[in-house]
Structure 1
């Protein structure tokens, strides 16, 4: 049901209820007023006949008119009826001086009686007639409201349409959009009740536009990055097919394996980045020991570090708990330690520290590599960014770290490490219990 129809029905219901209440109040008020007026008429009629000796034939004729709703009776002082304005099947047979209600054969009469020296005069009127006259008077007072109700309904219908026109305009503008139209809705001449809705829709459209633009850029960048390793794999496969000697074939197979490994790592990083993009569904958060996650990440990277002659040193003796996605945190630490091992010289040492400082969990990874100049430390978190053309890697490691950090409400900073290379510091929220850091 539309808001317009709901408003009209509500207004009509209020009008009908008001008419009923007004009719009831008017009926009771008019009934009281007519009762007093009719009592006054009965009194004046009886008193006017009190000082009259006899009722003349000229006056008796009009008083006997059956269209009149009252009856006049006169008795002698000894109770003998000497006059009745008109015959009736059930008239009050006795007189009670003053105003009284007399029940005669199931019909109630309102009477007024007055006594003189030689007779008693009574004027009576049925109560049913009084009530009917009062109801007619009440209906006449309410009838104008009932007649004007349809006009009011039409007015409410038109007024509701004019009031809801801005909302209909916004709905029409949204309805005419397609999936490519994400421009902001117009905000001119909007009522205060609708403006917050339009502003919220504009905010949603902006977020959708940014998300779609990010996805398009991600797909374009991913396609560009995948083109090079796939082209290299095709060339290596062609070289493998042309090789004749066993040594050349072994070398070609090794090169092909390295290319496949590189392409597989790139695809894995792309999937990790996609899973941690804003708005992507993720695993629910749980209580995670960051020190344990660091140990697992180092163990997973240890073979590669040994191949380069790099040693890991972990400083995390006690558990440090954070709320997060265990798998995503594992990816974060693996990317950091993998980058540290990849860019450190042979025989260098990589230090990983997990601690609690001021009630907040911290993760520091120090290496002895070339580091990153301060001017480039913001850009290295961009996807596919490489500081130089001959730099190895896909340029996704720190971008993935940034997305995971944002998802967990943490912060990441780059600085100079005491070992001479780069320090990556990740600071989480408050921990459950403080721990002391010691050399492991």
Structure 2
């Protein structure tokens, strides 16, 4: 049963039924006992009233002889001789037990009360069957109002449950009537304390979803804008290739076309990497990793570019450093840091990457001898498609955006500063601790 209303009604109905049964049972037994006590009191009072009389008056005798009166009065002399019976009966008690007692005669049980004087013994008897029937009728009459009240209470419970759950139904109706483009917060005014946290959580989700959609729209718009330029350049280069009459000119056009294709391919690859690193993409997995080993494998892709630029790429990992994260994403982070550093480093300079533990924090540090970034622009360079001058060739403007996204997804921070080598220092710090092999140099030739 998944309906909250049905559960509430079922539980309240069961509670009402249980309460009615308990109250009915207690009332029935109480009224039954009180009626029995009342009948005993009547027996006692009749016997005592006759004891104080010298004789039974004719009028009183006729009243006691009434067939509709279920009491039977018997009087014996002191020696046991019966001198009076209020009415004839096939089987009356023949012995008197002083006080209240039960007497069984010919299969029928009588309730009796007897009192004795010097001259006679007076006994008032009543069939137990009649007493019990009268008592049961009185008890049932006392319980009968519950049979009328219970349906009314059930109806009231149903109405109260419906009224209580109405705000929840109103929230569901508000959400159901909204279009997929409507991300305004749900109204919270007048909501019960039990429903308000749920609505506030939904509003928080709608806000985050709105921010995510806004970011995605901006990303798509920027990506479309950025792709337009290389695609236009490719079309122009293709036209030049078609128009080139000589082999030498065609060779130059083919080289330019190939370079344009490479730039477009790199831009697409960076866009895909950025999309996978976006918060909430669900593309990242977490596992124990050697940070130095991940960086070492990632640098293998950057070494050819460093060799072509005449830049020495050096990796130092003096001790093992362990982190939890996604190997592919961390490799993309390391590649982008290395690529940016090599791109902006002067020819015949060194780009140094270090993996170490700094006061218990796993750290990846990159230093280069390039022009660096002035403090005023260090936050700006993390924006998508922002290109900072000073390097060879035009980059995609996505490298540091990818670095920050991946770092944030792994609980790490990225800091930009001045390098002792004269250029930029990029530091990525994790809240992790240590484990990995010693330093290794990757120079102008690919690592062995």
DSSP-derived class of the 1:331 partner: helix
Equivalent residue, structure 1, for 2:188: 187
CA contact (8 A) 1:19 1:142 kept: no
CA distance in 2, matches of 1:83, 1:105: 21
Q: Report the alpha carbon displacement of residue 409 of structure 1 after superposing the two structures with TM.
A: 0.4
Match in the other structure for 1:288: 289
Structure 2 distance, partners of 1:307, 1:27, is: 102
Displacement of 1:124 after TM fit? 1.6
> 2 CA distance for matches of 1:238 and 1:89?
134
2: CA distance, partners of 1:378 / 1:311: 28
Residue deviations 1:201-259, cap 9 Å, x none?
Answer: 10010011111111111111111111111222222222222223222222222112111
CA 1:304–1:25 in 2, change beyond 3 Å: closer, same or farther?
same
TM normalised by structure 1 equals: 0.92
In structure 2, the partner of 1:232 is 233
1:300 partner SS: coil
Question: Equivalent residue for 1:112?
Answer: 113
Most deviating of 55-64 and 173-182: 55-64
Mapped partners of 2:202, 2:374: distance in 1: 42
2:403 equivalent among 389, 401, 416: 401
Alpha-carbon distance, 1:436 to partner: 10
Task: Say whether residues 1:375 and 2:385 are aligned partners.
Answer: no
Q: What does the per-residue CA deviation read over 1:170-223, in whole Å, with 9 as the maximum and x for residues that have no partner?
A: 222111101011101112222222211111110010011111111111111111
Q: How many Å apart are 1:70 and its aligned residue?
A: 2.3
Aligned partner of 2:415 among 389, 413, 419: 413
Q: Work out whether 1:140 is the aligned partner of 2:131.
A: no
Give the match for residue 354 of structure 1: 355
Partner residue, 1:167: 168
Match of 1:423 in 2: 425
Deviations along 1:21-55, one digit per CA (max 9) or x if unpaired, are 22222223223322322212111111222244554
Matches within 5 A, 1:33-48: 33-48=34-49
Structure 2 unmatched ranges of 5 or more: 442-448
Q: TM-score, normalised by structure 2?
A: 0.90
What does 1:10-409 align with in structure 2 at a 5 Å threshold? Answer: 10-387=11-388, 392-409=394-411
> How many pairs does the alignment contain?
439
C-alpha separation in 2, matches of 1:180 and 1:376: 36
Q: Partners of 2:89 and 2:309 in 1: how far apart? A: 129
| 8 Å Cα contact 2:28/2:143 also seen in 1 | no
Tell me the distance in 1 between the aligned counterparts of 2:434 and 2:204. 36
- Following superposition, the deviation at residue 389 of structure 1 comes to 11
User: 60-69 or 395-404, which moves further after superposition?
Assistant: 60-69
- Taking the aligned partners of 1:311 and 1:89, their CA distance within structure 2 comes to 131
Classify the secondary structure of the residue corresponding to 2:416: strand
CA gap of 1:297–1:137, structure 2 versus 1, over 3 A, is same
More moved, 233-242 vs 422-431: 233-242
Quick one: distance in 2 between partners of 1:412 and 1:29? 81
User: What is the root-mean-square deviation in Å for CA atoms of aligned residues?
Assistant: 2.4
Aligned counterparts of 1:319 and 1:363: Cα–Cα separation in 2: 12
- Rounded Cα–Cα distance in structure 2 between residues aligned with 1:384 and 1:66: 113
Seen in structure 2, the aligned counterparts of structure 1 residues 123 and 254 have a Cα distance that, compared at 3 Å, is same
Structure 2: distance between partners of 1:106 and 1:402: 101
- Would you say the 8 A contact 1:269–1:397 is kept in 2? yes
User: 1:60-81 CA distances to partner (integer Å, 9 max, x unpaired)?
Assistant: 3322333323222333445444
In 2, distance between residues paired with 1:210 and 1:168? 27
Q: 380-389 or 239-248, which moves further after superposition?
A: 380-389
Structure 2: distance between partners of 1:30 and 1:413: 86
